[in-house]
Amino acid sequence: MAVQTDSATTSTTSGSSGPDLGPAAALSCRECGERFPLGPIFACEVCFGPLEIAYDHPAGDAQALREQIESGPNSIWRYAPLLPVPADVSDKPSTNPGFTKLVRAERLGQELGVTGELHIKDDSGNPTHSFKDRVVAIAVEAARSFGFTTLSCSSTGNLAGAVGAAAARAGLRSCVFIPHDLEQGKVVMAAVYGGELVGIEGTYDDVNRFCSELIGDPAGEGWGFVNVNLRPYYAEGSKTLAYEICEQLGWRLPDQLVVPIASGSQLSKIDKGLQELINLGLVEDRPYRIFGAQAEGCSPVSRAFKEGHDVVRPVKPDTIAKSLAIGNPADGPYVLDIARRTGGAVEDVDDERIVEAIKLLARTEGIFAETAGGVTVGVTRKLIEDGRLDPSLTTVVLNTGDGLKTLDAVASTTGPTAVIKPNLESFHAAGLA
């Protein structure tokens, strides 16, 4: 007997005789439920809906599974029994991301009027300093299984660096594509690993569209695009955030989560991860609320939520939060469903409040977040002020990247407190004593 953790209803060939991807059983359409054998495909052949991984997790003792996880490595590979990866994955060359800090943010909570537990899940501690290392690590294992020799992606910056690092570690070629006007720090970090970095004149949506075309061209043969033809596997990496948060809370669900929205995949997979933990008996089943956070200059999901729509109308991004600047988010409709189903919301903040939130988090907790982290903290503050987020409950806010990647966002408002001469008279004159 097995515990099914997806809603697919159509039988198919399992992954048992195909690639070695652990408990992954098939690809399942999120729209019609049709199932397909594991492979480098991302769209349903029946209705063209997006595909995701379906599992056959073995039924068993939840406590034994908890102990197995807790005895594993301090990385996402401790959750290998729940991921589409081979059992020996931790023995292979990898950047070994994950198991980042869950920081109890008491001083930030005081500033925001929080009386319950407030935590920051700080994913800036990953190898390339963003959560993208998680999703790429899973995609690399799929690329190996399918025999790809080149790792690629379309990226707003963080993913490009994660792909470059993971490919270098795995001994694969990398060629990644980015909008030509990204922050310089992200460009350098993507290029330093020695792979090919190509700037595209246009927005991220233009870059992503080009990559989809390249997959169908002979030049793209042997290429694994982590967020296109490997997307079903890649997206599963975001579930590890849910796993870690619950384990770090003592195997309990948080009451509320605030998650940034770019494509929306991270939020939807965090919800999937929480549901899997419930289904497997690893956490107690009780209500939780998920809130999505966007920048006002790229807030198509927030707008759809506020207007009561079920579809998301694309927008042209114009925000300092470039890692979230996806004007046509693929998982937007799923985010709307999750926010409404859990009693959460989707909200946005303008660039000024993003900068204020970055500095607030740094001043209170010593965490320098990139602009996406400013978005989640800023939205958390707004939700509390509006009475939509309960300050008495256990709340987890995600910071998905390091502020050193987005220095331009705060550079004009930060700097030396004073410039003095190297003597005590100048020091006292500056009022620093």
Tens of pLDDT, residue by residue over 88-125, are 999 999 999 999 999 999 999 999 999 999 999 999 99
Provide the CATH number for the domain around residue 396: 3.40.50.1100
137 and 267 both lie in a single domain: no
Number of domains, the chain = 3
| Mean predicted confidence (pLDDT) in 261-288 | 97
pLDDT-derived band at 17, boundaries 50, 70, 90? low
Q: What is the pLDDT of residue 5?
A: 40
For residues 297 and 354, state if they share a domain. yes
Q: Is residue 171 domain-shared with residue 287, that is, in the same domain?
A: no
pLDDT confidence band for 1 (50 / 70 / 90): very low
* 270 plus 121 within the same structural domain: yes
Residue 416 lies in a domain: no
The larger pLDDT score, comparing residue 180 to residue 107, is at 107
119 with 76, same domain: the answer is no
Residue 72 C-beta-side C-alpha neighbours within 13 Å:
25
| Residue 157 confidence class, pLDDT cut points 50, 70, 90 | confident
Each residue's pLDDT tens digit, 339-392: 999 999 999 999 999 999 999 999 999 999 999 999 999 999 999 999 999 999
Two structure tokens written together for 40: 């480098």
Query: Is 421 inside any structural domain?
Result: no
pLDDT given at position 14 = 36
What whole-number distance in Å separates Cα of residue 13 and Cα of residue 222?
Answer: 24
pLDDT of residue 220: 84
Q: In terms of domains, do 160 and 199 share one? A: yes
pLDDT band at 9 (very low <50, low <70, confident <90, very high): very low
Q: Flag whether 432 is in a domain.
A: no
Q: Are residue 270 and residue 333 in the same domain, yes or no?
A: yes
Q: Whole domain around residue 30: which residue ranges? A: 2-87
Last residue of a domain, one of 178, 209, 234: 234
Give the mean model confidence (pLDDT) for residues 291-303.
98
Both 155 and 275 in one domain: the answer is no
d(CA 407, CA 227): 26
Query: Which of 234, 251, 284 finishes a domain?
Result: 234
What order of strands is seen across the sheet that includes strand 24-29? 2-4, 51-58, 24-29, 35-36
Is 420 contained in some domain? no
- 285-303 mean pLDDT: 98
Residue pair 12/35 in contact by the 8 Å Cβ criterion:
yes
Band of pLDDT at residue 182, cut at 50, 70 and 90: confident
Closest listed residue to residue 24, CA positions, set 50, 47, 44, 4: 4
**271, 290 in Cβ contact below 8 A?**
yes
Distance between CA atoms of residues 130 and 313, nearest Å: 28
Q: Residues 107, 245: one domain?
A: yes
The last residue of a domain, from among 27, 54, 87: 87
